[in-house]
Amino acid sequence: MEIVLATNNEHKLKEVEEICKNLDVKFILPPKEFNPEENGISFEENSYIKAKAANILTHKYTLADDSGLCVKALNGAPGLYSNRFAGTQQEKIDKILKLLEDKDDRSAKFVCVMTLLDKEGNVKFVAKGECKGSIVKTQKGVNGFGYDPVFLPEGKTLTMAELSEDEKNEISHRRNALNQVIDFLKTLDK
C-alpha cells in the first residue's frame, strides 16, 4: 500500500517510516506544489486541510498530521501556532523559555492529530496522540527538531533532544497517534 504523507518535512517522513518499518506501507511525499493554508481552529481541522490538499493533488491514500506544543501556564500556547510561534527554531525555544521564566507550573504536552483519507478523499480514520511532560529551564540535546531541546517527557531524565531516535519514537505524540493509524491500516483490505 502506498500512502502520501501530507508534509514537506523530510524529517517527519523519516520518523514515520521508522515507526512503520514493519508495516507493508510505502510513504511518499506530495508533489512540490503541496502548500495548503493551515487556517483551521484545531489540530483536527488543520490535519484534515493538509490531508485533503495532498489528496486532491494525488488521488491516493493520504495521511496528514498537525501537531504542536501546548504549555499549561501559557493557556495551551503555542498550540496550533507552534510552527509559527517565532522565526527560527532557536527563536521559538528562546521565546518559550522567556515566557516561562517566572512560572512555577511548567507542565506541557505535545499533541498530534492524524487524518487518513482514502483515494476518493473520504475520511477513513482520525487519531490523536499525546506526550506529556514539562519545559526545562535550560535547553539540552541536539537530536530531534522543534521544541525537543526544552521538553522533558514524563518519567524521563533526558529531554526529547537528548533521547535517541528509537527512544523518542517509542514515546512521542506522533508515535501514539501513528500506532492507532497502524492498527486501523491492518484492518484494511489492500
Specify whether the CB–CB gap between 71 and 78 falls below 8 A.
Answer: yes
Which long-range contacts link 182-186 to residues 24+ away (Cβ below 8 Å)?
182/19, 182/20, 182/23, 184/116, 184/124, 184/125, 184/127, 185/1, 185/23, 185/25, 185/116, 186/23
Task: Tell me the pairing of strands 2-5 and 62-71.
Answer: parallel
Select which of 66, 94, 105, 166 is catalytic.
Answer: 66
Q: Is 66 a catalytic residue?
A: yes
Q: How far apart are CA 181 and CA 62, in angstroms?
A: 12
Torsion angles phi and psi, residue 77, rounded to 5 = -75, 155
Give the active site residues: 66
